[in-house]
Amino acid sequence: MAVHFVPWDTTRDLMKEANRLYDAAGTFDCVEKGDLVAVKLHVGELGNPYYVQPFFIHDIVRRVKEAGGKPFLTDSNTYYHAQRNNAYDHIITAFTNGFNMAPFIVADGLRSENYRTVKTRGILQEIEVSGVIAEADAMVVVSHDKGHALSGFGGAIKHLGMGCTSRAGKLRQHRTIGLEIDTSKCSGCGKCKEACPLDLPEIIEGKARNTSPLCMRCLLCIEACPMDAIKFVDKENLCRALASAAYGVLSTFKKDKVSYVSFAKDITQYCDCVPGPGEIMMNDVGIFASDSPVSIDGAFLKMVDYKLFNDAYDVDCMLQVQEAKALGIQGEVNPEITRIS
Ligand code: SF4
Ligand code: SF4
């Protein structure tokens, strides 16, 4: 469960550096001749410039082919109402952002109807794995390390847990978070309701109230509230849910059929899902490769001041890594890192 690493050194040819990294880490050892290989990526939301650059994906596709596999690009639709919440718009976004080097197959179908419900461990009992992911022979998970308002940071574990599950699976994870409205602060202005795609919360006797089981925990009402009256609680549950969902996703693959590459560059406040990802939080770090999501996320957090994430989002971002390890996903929370030089 080693982690290999090359620094983000722009005096060098980073494409070549990445290939040296893949060779050292055995990134494509998971590919056998004839395998249908999912290259799991995030194509970026339109307007967000900080997704993994297409030329790196182009090269990963080339390497999968060289290893005898049949690579395709994939990601699941979003659970919230945005540019990528159906396959048509998702594919348009992928092409617009430059991801046309292999077939782009939306992992969970036209409207997220294609998933397989599997049993898992931890805070969730079961999880809806996107059907295309569940059917793939092998997978290379290409992540962008960055901050995340709900889980502190997003890397490989989040990319598995949230990114490889259908809308129902994403909702199941988000619903582990609580939402509270402080009625002493609430003025009854209704701005939360205006912002909410589901026309929640209700305004009753001049106060907002949200008990709906449909609530997606999507943040929009929180951002809209001028009184700072709405907040999420129990965000740690989402960190546990990400690990739990990741375990379920990995259960659909045979042993040693998933490999991980993470780009710690453009480490923004918010994830690739939003058009405005906020400020850069820390310097570019480099590229990691591993056969373990626990180790690759642990390595990233080991090399940065991860307390910046914890302080910004009031949640311990190490928790998702520790929980994944505790559930039995192989790897080390504090791994050795082999620098390729
Ligand atoms: S979090 Fe807020 S905006 Fe999002 S669905 Fe729930 S009530 Fe609506
Ligand atoms: S936006 Fe805030 S203050 Fe206005 S009704 Fe909603 S919770 Fe109350």
> Which residue owns the Cα nearest ligand 1 atom 6?
215
What pLDDT, on the 0 to 100 scale, is given for residue 141? 98
Share of the chain above pLDDT 70, in %: 100
Ranges in the chain annotated CATH 3.30.70.20: 178-233
Task: Judge if the beta carbon of residue 174 lies within 6 A of ligand 1.
Answer: no
Which atom of ligand 2 lies at the shortest distance from residue 224's CA? 1
Task: Judge if the beta carbon of residue 210 lies within 6 A of ligand 1.
Answer: yes
Task: Judge if the beta carbon of residue 218 lies within 6 A of ligand 1.
Answer: yes
Q: Give per-residue pLDDT as tens, 230-241.
A: 999 999 999 999
Task: Judge if the beta carbon of residue 249 lies within 6 A of ligand 1.
Answer: no
What pLDDT, on the 0 to 100 scale, is given for residue 48? 80
Can you tell me the distance from the alpha carbon of 72 to that of 101, in angstroms, rounded to the nearest whole number?
Answer: 9
> Which residue owns the Cα nearest ligand 2 atom 1?
225
Cβ neighbours of 115 (radius 10 Å): 24
Q: Decide if pLDDT at 270 tops 90.
A: no
Q: Report phi then psi at 198, rounded to 5.
A: -105, 10
Can you tell me the distance from the alpha carbon of 69 to that of 79, in angstroms, rounded to the nearest whole number?
Answer: 30
| Pick from 81, 170, 87, 166: nearest CA to 129 | 166
Residue of 184, 191, 209, 222 best suited for mutating to test ligand 2, as the one with most atoms within 8 Å of CB: 191
What pLDDT, on the 0 to 100 scale, is given for residue 149? 85
Residue of 180, 182, 230 best suited for mutating to test ligand 2, as the one with most atoms within 8 Å of CB: 230
What CA–CA distances, in Å, run from 336 to 22, 110, 182?
A: 17, 42, 45
Task: Judge if the beta carbon of residue 312 lies within 6 A of ligand 1.
Answer: no
What pLDDT, on the 0 to 100 scale, is given for residue 179? 94
Task: Judge if the beta carbon of residue 201 lies within 6 A of ligand 1.
Answer: yes
How many angstroms does the Cα of residue 177 sit away from the middle of ligand 2?
A: 19
> What is the overall mean pLDDT for the chain?
94
Q: Which CATH architecture has domain 3-173+235-339?
A: 3-Layer(aba) Sandwich (3.40)
Q: Give per-residue pLDDT as tens, 272-323.
A: 777 777 788 889 999 999 999 999 999 999 999 999 999 998 899 999 999 9
Domain 178-233 in this protein, CATH class: alpha beta
Q: Give per-residue pLDDT as tens, 125-170.
A: 999 999 999 999 999 999 999 998 888 999 999 999 999 999 999 9
Share of the chain above pLDDT 90, in %: 84
Q: Decide if pLDDT at 268 tops 90.
A: no
How many angstroms does the Cα of residue 51 sit away from the middle of ligand 1?
A: 26
Q: Give per-residue pLDDT as tens, 113-124.
A: 999 999 999 999
In contact, 268 and 277? CB cutoff 8 Å: yes
Task: Judge if the beta carbon of residue 196 lies within 6 A of ligand 1.
Answer: yes
Can you tell me the distance from the alpha carbon of 74 to that of 40, in angstroms, rounded to the nearest whole number?
Answer: 5
How many angstroms does the Cα of residue 182 sit away from the middle of ligand 2?
A: 9
Ranges in the chain annotated CATH 3.40.50.11440: 3-173+235-339
Q: Give per-residue pLDDT as tens, 27-55.
A: 999 999 999 999 999 999 888 888 899 99
How many angstroms does the Cα of residue 211 sit away from the middle of ligand 2?
A: 15
In contact, 154 and 139? CB cutoff 8 Å: no
